[in-house]
Amino acid sequence: MEWIYDGEYIKVNFNLKHTDVNFPTVDHKISIVYGFKNNTPPEEISKIENLCITKRKINSSKSHNIESDFIIKKDQS
């Protein structure tokens, strides 16, 4: 499992309250919604290689996007 999106070391963020926007969460690089809409097999979506750890606020802002679309949109803002 990787730590991605903003390149910031966030292991220390586990000391925060679990509701804090910077608390680490597990994210699907290819979202479950995207996979469902695009007929991606559940086995692909559930692979550990499809998971990463990121901050709660990043996971929320990524929403149903896939990793590459999210990174492109984030870079453009």
Query: pTM for this structure?
Result: 0.74
Q: Domain locations in the chain?
A: 2-71
- pLDDT of 25 higher than 80: yes
Average pLDDT over residues 42-71: 86
64-73, long-range: CB within 8 Å, 24+ apart, which pairs? 64/31, 64/33, 64/34, 65/31, 65/34, 66/29, 66/30, 66/31, 66/34, 67/4, 67/29, 67/30, 70/5, 71/5
Confidence of residue 41 (pLDDT cuts 50, 70, 90): very high
